Amino acid sequence: RVLRAARDAGVKRVVLTSSFAAIGYGKMPPDGRPFTEESWTDPTAKVSAYVKSKTLAERAAWDFIAAEGGSLELAVVNPVGIFGPVLGADHSTSTAFVQRMMNGAMPGLPRLSFGVVDARDVADLHVRAMTNPAAKGERFLAVAGDFMTVREIAQAVKTRLGAAASRVSTRELPDWLVRVVGLFNAEAAQLVTELGKVKNATNAKAVRMLGWAPRSREDALAATGASLVRLGLVKTPK
């Protein structure tokens, strides 16, 4: 409906916020190579409803442009886990992940890896995808660097935030324990199929084509934690 309305109103280009969920699930690239914008999630594989919905939604957008988009252009941004400074108590799943760590609600960490990017850099990439002629018909992965394990994320938060992150655990849980917990906890159950998978993705296309220069993963994570502290959204260490 949005794309049809945009086309009918004479809009030149729509920038769709998709997700790494539409790129990096269901199958791995050969030879351990990083995921790129050429990769697509297999929605017929054993993936979560969220991952499947993101994949089908982006596919539908490209199909619309091809079939009835007329002169309407489409560009897509595919962010990984979005971190950075939060604005209030109603914040995202990714930043809530850091909040749980800092509140001591994660005494053990699953063996997972995922990408990190700052919300401010995701916004910047959207503007570039909207205004740069080269972005027409292209997808762009929004990722600050190599993927990090949950343990590496925890360690980065502890290192950068010091006493404020004293409740952050860096103890890794065995996979079998996470699977057992997943039998009784829906949140843990969604992690089971990704346990131990070493994923990575590259931002080379956004850097090369659009001149995108994201801040570091560590800066994004530190900004998340510092804003949570500033807004009183984490417990004060004793």
Q: Of residues 12, 46, 52, 54, which has the active-site annotation?
A: 54
Residue 235 within a domain:
no
Q: Which domain holds residue 143?
A: 2-230
Give the least confident one: 4-8, 87-91, 133-137.
Answer: 87-91
User: Is 235 an active-site residue?
Assistant: no
Is the predicted pLDDT of residue 191 greater than 90, yes or no? Answer: no
State residue 176 phi and psi, 5-degree precision.
-60, -35
Residue 99 within a domain:
yes
The CATH code of the domain that includes 226 is 3.40.50.720
Is the predicted pLDDT of residue 238 greater than 70, yes or no? Answer: no
Distance of CA 212 to the CA centre of its chain: 17
Give pLDDT tens digits for 15-62: 999 999 999 998 888 777 999 999 999 999 988 899 999 999 999 999
Residue type, 185: N
Q: 109, 170 in Cβ contact below 8 A?
A: yes
Residue 73 within a domain:
yes
How many domains does the chain divide into? 1
Q: 128, 205 in Cβ contact below 8 A?
A: no
